[in-house]
Amino acid sequence: MQDIVQDALENAEEEQRDMELSDDDDEFGDPRIVIVGAGGAGNNTVNRLYNIGVDGAETVAINTDKQHLKMIEADTKILVGKSLTNGLGAGGDPSMGERATEMAQGTIKEVLGDADLVFVTAGMGGGTGTGAAPVVSKIASEQGAIVVGMVSTPFNVERARTVKAEEGLEKLREEADSIIVLDNNRLLDYVPNLPIGKAFSVMDQIIAETVKGISETITQPSLINLDYADMTTIMNQGGVAVMLVGETQDKNKTREVVNDAMSHPLLDVDYRGASGGLVHITGGPDLTLKEAEGIANNITERLEASANVIWGARIQENYKGKVRVMAIMTGVQSAQVLGPTTQKQANKSRQSLEGVDEASFDASQNVGHEHVHGANGAQSDGGRDEVEKSNGLDVIR
């Protein structure tokens, strides 16, 4: 029996070496991953991702603000709504960001093309990000991609922006398969004494590392593999998703890495009752099967009994003595984003309070669109539409 174990260990080491050698050469069958940053905050995240590098993913920056877009580094940059805003931004008006993006939908369709997984990152509450994120998500979804929204919400003191953010989140949830929401208010507890610019860069970094972690989990080979099909299965659970990241060098890896993940001040959202979980563990050659299974079990114990859980593990030499866990919990019941039933009730209540019935509400929306776009609402047909041509679209690749 001991000989069998020894032979298995030797074969495993040889297979691991072969896997590492073939990693860079074999790109067949890899999913196409595109990360889209919409608006100022989304552009900042994409810029950070472009500079740190994400294996197997492309970056796209979309904005109405030409000056800000010039400073951003990305694989593709798209200035939208030039004829509406003169490249000066959406002025904090989500409807302007939405219209500008709709006018460029032919170009966006081209850029997203055959994407399998699309991340849409934005700051909710402003003009371009709030308005553009749902439009980009819809375009990607209609072309068959799995769409994950990765957004931040404004500080409580920004009351007008908070209202816009809530409305933007409702629209985004309708178009994306899952959305991960990070609250800027948590920065007040996490880094209260940092200069404001550096504090926001912390949130940018969290979003960037989250997107990088998810992308590389499904593009890099693992000992217990997670692939695009696994990601699709979990993300199709829909609703709000929660991201957990933890790392430790403690001897009791199984407990401490989970504690670290669950106590992160920017990510500690209650995920009890979640309907799906994707867990990926990275450890050194000393990581045992029992430890890996224990970590996956501990971090998913709050999920409902029938939750669909998929986990994987990767061994890396530079992780000797330490372990890292990344998990995504989907179908989370969060007060930050309304469910479909609650959303309908809220919409009816809002219309009732404003004294506007459903028919007149729809009519007023249509009038607004016709005034800006014409009767077709600036529907694009892949770049040939006259409205899109006159938009003065700038695309930089």
User: CATH number of the domain at 236-332, please?
Assistant: 3.30.1330.20
* More confident: 341 or 270: 270
pLDDT confidence band for 10 (50 / 70 / 90): low
Amino acid 206: pLDDT:
83
Relative to beta strand 76-79, strand 394-396 is: antiparallel
DSSP 264-296: -TTT----TT-SEEEEEEEE-TT--HHHHHHHH
Say if strands 323-332 and 276-283 run parallel, antiparallel, or are unpaired: antiparallel
pLDDT at 104 over 90: yes
Most trustworthy range by pLDDT among 24-38, 154-168, 197-211: 154-168
pLDDT for residue 271: 86
Cβ atoms of 147 and 120 within 8 Å: the answer is yes
Q: Which of 88-97, 165-174, 300-309 has the lowest mean pLDDT?
A: 300-309
* pLDDT top residue among 199 and 33: 33
Note whether 313 and 224 are within 8 A (CB).
yes
- Mean of pLDDT values over 93-107: 97
The confidence score (pLDDT) of residue 358 equals 43
Count the helix, strand and coil residues of the chain and give each as a percent rounded to the nearest 5.
Answer: 50, 20, 30
Give percent above pLDDT 70 in the chain.
Answer: 77
Binned at pLDDT 50, 70 and 90, residue 348 comes out as very low
**Residue 58 pLDDT > 50:** yes
More confident residue, 253 or 368: 253
pLDDT band at 299 (very low <50, low <70, confident <90, very high): very high
DSSP assignments along 146-190, one per residue: EEEEEEEE--TT-HHHHHHHHHHHHHHHHHSSEEEEEEGGGHHHH
Residue 211 contacts residue 179 (beta carbons within 8 Å) = no
Query: 33-217+363-396 has which CATH code?
Result: 3.40.50.1440
Q: How far is residue 70's CA from residue 199's CA, in Å, rounded to a whole number? A: 23
- Residue 210 banded pLDDT, cuts 50, 70, 90: confident
* Lowest pLDDT segment from 20-24, 56-60, 276-280, 337-341: 337-341
Q: Residue 337: which pLDDT band, with cuts at 50, 70 and 90?
A: very low
Q: What is the per-residue pLDDT across 232-256, written as a single tens digit (0 to 9) for each?
A: 999 988 788 988 889 999 888 899 9
pLDDT at 168: 96
The residues, ordered by sequence, that sit 6+ positions from 267 with a Cβ below 8 Å of its Cβ are 182, 206, 242, 243, 244, 245, 261
In the chain, pLDDT over 90 holds for what percent of residues? 49
What per-residue confidence (pLDDT) applies to 394? 67
Q: What pLDDT was estimated at residue 236? A: 85
Q: Is the pLDDT of residue 307 over 50?
A: yes
- Which pLDDT score is estimated for 20? 52
**Domain ranges in the chain with CATH number 3.40.50.1440:** 33-217+363-396
pLDDT-based confidence at residue 4 (cuts at 50, 70, 90)? low
Tell me what pLDDT residue 199 has.
84
* Mean model confidence pLDDT for the chain: 81
Q: By mean pLDDT, which of 127-141, 163-177, 323-337 is the weakest?
A: 323-337
Residues 6+ apart with CB under 8 A from 275: 237, 239, 303, 304, 306, 307, 308, 330, 331
Hey, is 118 helix, strand or coil? Answer: strand
Where in the sequence of the chain do the CATH 3.30.1330.20 domains occur?
236-332
Res 247: pLDDT = 94
Give the pLDDT score at 11: 59
- pLDDT of amino acid 207: 84
Most confident of 132-136, 160-164, 355-359, 361-365: 132-136
